[in-house]
A and B are shown apart, each in its own frame.
Chain A
């Protein structure tokens, strides 16, 4: 019968399928473990080939730069893991806490100024968190908006003044102090990382953040107040940004409303490059730390090799696009 002859029954070719499986497995492996290999290779490469990288002066410099970014990035990790949200308002938050510390310490004392900064950090966290978690507004747009409000108020109030701390005062001393080759800010980074790591992996709250990031609907249906989880994630991010503002101000013993320009981008870059999935749910503080090391070392060796800031931006941007594309590819491969 011609009719049945006409109908071809396609037999799936098994070889092609396993080949595709192998590729997707490789993509998944690179996306999840690759950053550790890349960072190790980058460190070895820099130590061997980049003149001046391994000097103690340079290592201190790398730590200084990495500390503030690292602290912000650790905070941002909570927002990212809690379901692909991004907090762009860290720029305004860092500057706010830095300026408050330097400008108000003379009048209210250092602890008093820190208390006021804490109030504003909580305000940022709650406003961002409620808008995103309960009102279901888009995180990027909300935090862009709060950035505008925060930076605007700060510039109006401070008038763009640069606030200097008294030379030799406690803030200045903190910024200069070091233990061996490590600046104190590096210890702050480590302390923040340890606390954040414990919160994320050991506490009920961290668990809910990871669970919500993995599957929002299933988490809600397990009876979790999901809006509250999002608010908590934004508050943690705000607290980290506040600490980063203190550290950054102490490092130079100055603060100005523009002191944190570009920190949103670099912190986010560290989180993403570390392999924390932008689709939420998956990631760790360790990953963020590795991401911070990677981009800090990368921009350091570019500087040492005489490349301009423009090149640093270009390379960091390229690495981010690569990391995000890899994340998406890995997710696609997994879904198959």
Chain B
């Protein structure tokens, strides 16, 4: 049985994906998604962070195998595997650039399909095919130039040429404009229109709604792994698309909203510049929860990491003021000593030593307090860890278990617990509840509110809009490494944050 979506197209179908389901562990990343793309169509796939866009694209390209459903090109069902998909004409232009910097443009374009003659690389043909591909997309660049010497934009174009050189039927682009300037973006969009005009089916994934409205014919909107709607771009508006992406009307539970009572400025950052951070000023006050919103790749993590010295800054200063004493944050060690705690985005690689026990993980930042003359106080450590495990609600509260044996939510509680032992003056959390179950999430939120109520300054980066809205006393929305707007709780809702994050100009007063 087929429920044909309301948005019909007269184009001949090239790519058809049918009822795709993909689960990771218990979580359903893609939930019965179907999508059809016609010859010459540019089809947008949009959705919030974590809606399942990238997973779906990886399934279409055969990199991931779906748990259910299948993909067909020109009516014939694809075998599993990236090779089969590539041979059937599906080419994916990656979000993360996948070029080899030391190799030349020509070598990169034909990587994996390098032409040979008697077992030796046929560099004449290699340059010819690579040159043809670049001509097709209208980009001129020296074929013998190593990719490492090219600008980000040219690298992106080489990446596209690489896909085009394989004579695809379907071209998939995942956030191709994330690192491009407006002029470069313009160029890329018209390039895609030219390619589509020649009958190529293009899937265009972007957060940037204006781009979608400029080149796309239809848009499939994903939310929580499901298709919420298939829209014909000519018949809708940017605001309607954003509403569909966000989906839920903001229901602010006034019971959970605390009344913030901000004190003195604890963290002050001025003119911060770093990789993907372009001049940021930011203050966080005692007892205040400051939220940083924006899309993936907007520079949010980079911003907080540069402020507290985890990653190097190229310009700017940051200071922390505790009990009237102001310290310049000139490195991460210095930040920690001054009373800053940092809960990183990557819990498993940066937050915890998974094969050490919970107690050992908690000991790490508190080692000085828990040792005498260089010797660890074992009795003290056990007590200390138990007390903190209790504060954060670790379940089961077995501190001699390896951290890796716990669920994501409990692991995150351990990361927070280890810092609470230091009684931080400022706690910085990057994606505090990613991959955390609903119960643990609520507990972590409660904990952060309590911390703020006790006068701790809290800085939260989150892709989870409801979380950001629920927690924050003020939200800064970041795009392209800049703060695009600052919203008070009254102004902040899912639409106003998304609008700023996606670069859609919206009257901000409502």
Contact = CB atoms under 8 A, between A and B. Distances in A.
B197 interface: no
A223 interface: yes
Nearest to B372: A204
A225 B1 CA distance: 63
A218 B350 contact: yes
A33 to B, nearest CB: 16
Given A9-B67, A208-B367, A218-B353, A223 B374 contact: no
B217 to A, nearest CB: 23
A208 B365 CA distance: 10
A203 interface: yes
A86 to B, nearest CB: 21
B356 interface: yes
Nearest to B80: A10
Contact of A282 (B67, B349, B355): B355
A221 B342 contact: yes
B363 interface: yes
A215 B349 contact: yes
B351 interface: yes
Nearest to A7: B70
A265 interface: no
11 contacts: A6-B77, A7-B69, A7-B70, A204-B371, A214-B356, A218-B349, A218-B351, A221-B332, A221-B342, A223-B336, A223-B365
B374 A204 contact: yes
Interface string A1-19: 1011011110000000000
B118 interface: no
**What 4 A-B pairs come out closest when comparing CB atoms?**
A223-B336, A7-B70, A214-B353, A215-B353
A76 to B, nearest CB: 21
B336 A205 contact: no
Contact of A281 (B67, B353, B371): B353
Interface in A118-132: none
Contacts of B418: 222
B349 A217 contact: yes
Nearest to A199: B374
A204 B18 contact: no
A219, A222, A225 interface centre (most CB from chain B within 10 Å): A222
A225 B332 CA distance: 10
B332, B350, B363, B365 interface centre (most CB from chain A within 10 Å): B350
Contacts of B315: none
Contacts of A225: 333
Nearest to A12: B67
A7, A217, A218 interface centre (most CB from chain B within 10 Å): A218
A211 interface: yes
A224 interface: yes
A203 B373 CA distance: 9
Contact of B310 (A6, A204, A221, A281): A221
Interface in A281-327: 281-282
B473 interface: no
Interface string B52-70: 0000000000000001111
B362 to A, nearest CB: 10
A207 B363 contact: yes
B360 A207 contact: yes
Given A7-B77, A215-B352, A282-B355, 16 more contacts: A9-B68, A203-B374, A204-B368, A210-B356, A211-B360, A214-B356, A217-B350, A218-B352, A218-B353, A218-B364, A219-B364, A221-B344, A221-B351, A223-B337, A223-B365, A225-B333
Interface in B1-17: 1-2, 16
Interface of B: 1-2, 16, 18-19, 67-70, 72, 77, 310, 332-333, 336-337, 342, 344, 349-356, 360, 363-365, 367-368, 371, 374-376, 378, 418
A220 interface: yes
B333 A204 contact: no
A322 B199 CA distance: 57
Query: Could you tell me the dominant secondary structure of chain B's interface residues?
Result: mixed
A136 interface: no
A24 to B, nearest CB: 15
Given A9-B67, A220-B332, A204 B365 contact: no
Contacts of B19: 4, 7
B2 A223 contact: no
A336 interface: no
A6 B376 CA distance: 64
B2 A1 contact: yes
A211 B353 contact: yes
Contacts of B69: 7, 9
Contacts of B2: 1
Given A214-B353, A214-B356, A215-B352, A202 B332 contact: no
Nearest to B351: A218
B333 A219 contact: no
Contacts of B378: 202
Contact of B367 (A4, A207, A220): A207
A4 B363 contact: no
A9 B80 CA distance: 12
Contacts of A211: 353, 356, 360, 364
A207 B364 CA distance: 8
A224 B363 CA distance: 12
A156 B353 CA distance: 46
A210 B367 CA distance: 13
B336 A204 contact: no
A73 B292 CA distance: 50
Contacts of B368: 204
A6 B70 contact: yes
B338 to A, nearest CB: 10
B382 to A, nearest CB: 14
Nearest to B68: A9
A74 to B, nearest CB: 19
Contacts of B310: 221
A7, A202, A211 interface centre (most CB from chain B within 10 Å): A7
Contacts of A218: 349-353, 364
Interface string A179-216: 00000000000000000000000111101101100110
A3 to B, nearest CB: 6
Contacts of A215: 349-350, 352-354, 356
Contacts of A204: 367-368, 371, 374-376
A7 B332 CA distance: 53
A125 to B, nearest CB: 18
Interface string A224-261: 11000000000000000000000000000000000000
A6, A8, A202, A204 interface centre (most CB from chain B within 10 Å): A204
Contacts of B16: 3
Nearest to B352: A218
Contacts of B77: 3, 6-7
A207 B376 contact: yes
B206 to A, nearest CB: 29
A221 B364 CA distance: 10
Contact of A223 (B67, B333, B355, B375): B333
Contacts of A224: 364
Contacts of A214: 353-356
Contacts of A203: 371, 374-376
Contacts of A205: 374
A224 B336 CA distance: 9
A210 B364 CA distance: 11
Contact of A222 (B365, B374, B375): B365
B1, B19, B353, B363 interface centre (most CB from chain A within 10 Å): B353
Nearest to A223: B336
A202 B82 CA distance: 51
